[in-house]
Structure 1
């Protein structure tokens, strides 16, 4: 091999060296694509909300985790306002990406986690601690503003990941919903019995009819 290289004319060797250098540089620092640029813009738009921000070399967690906790504890339109607004902001900024870049942005670990958690929490809050009655009760305390945000999450989710992924997420959430009212023991020393899951107590169609997933999003 060494003899072969030494036998090559110097101009050929120089050209080979240049080609090898370019390949190495591209492997180490691949060129930015349009989607990379859109991802960078998304990350910048979500600093301080979804992503950690740094102030005077101090890392500050995004506000979304805190607002989610407040929503879970308060379980009301007022306590969930900040969290739902932040969720809508995440969805809106994902939706600004071109169709070919939506999946790349959605697949950022923090983004997919927040979107999955957001859909699940909204469905859980609407469902409540026991199966709601079919009809308007399936929305719980949620009004048009909150339902519109849920539909916005669905729209972006299905555009980025497809209907199959949305269906899979819905089924996972169905399995976590309570299928009966929890029984509280009169004996404080005894732990409360874990209620049956919705999937163990009723059909998928019945769960669908009672859940937030059955909302007609074309109306929102």
Structure 2
């Protein structure tokens, strides 16, 4: 039986929902984030605030929430010519992928997370990748996650489980999942404190949170919010 987990935590809606899910299931949960020269580096501050608010608003979870780790991955920004790591407009590439795709990002994240989990004695890696409501990134696919789980387990000679709670649900269902885990309090925490906008905009406040409102990440989050509010799932009781 698995009792410990390491959550890949960016400070956004998806990873915050995954963190709440892990805190509801595992006895000890740690978090890991990455500074890779992203344009929306404001998320690095947002993640600190989210962790503080989770501890303050949900005491039962606070008792399970352990250390946070942030790794410097500036080298990823150096080798990536993308709109997430360079000052360029969002566009579609000839490959059919948006230029927000950072090649190898999730593969590198998972490899380093697995190395940290190995050292910290953590059994499960939790990541918010999704194949249902996403931009077509190949490193978010279920097949990629399964392949990484096999490769990491073999390479470290230890069973490593990669858990993807959002893989088969859309953004509206992700909002509903947050409500089921922590009630309206968690939904409002996500609205107010998490960051999604690729441009790092914290000046414009919308019903679904802060952001420019036009980048692909904002558009996806806003559409999911609208669908969720039209037909929200029954909320669960707060664990606080």
TM-score of Structure 1 vs Structure 2, range by shorter chain: under 0.3
Structure with the largest fraction of helix = 1
Please report the TM-score for the alignment, with normalisation by the length of structure 2: 0.26
More strand by share: 2
Largest Rg, 1 or 2: 1
TM-score (norm 1): 0.27
Name which structure has the greater RCO, CA cutoff 8 Å, separation 6+: 2
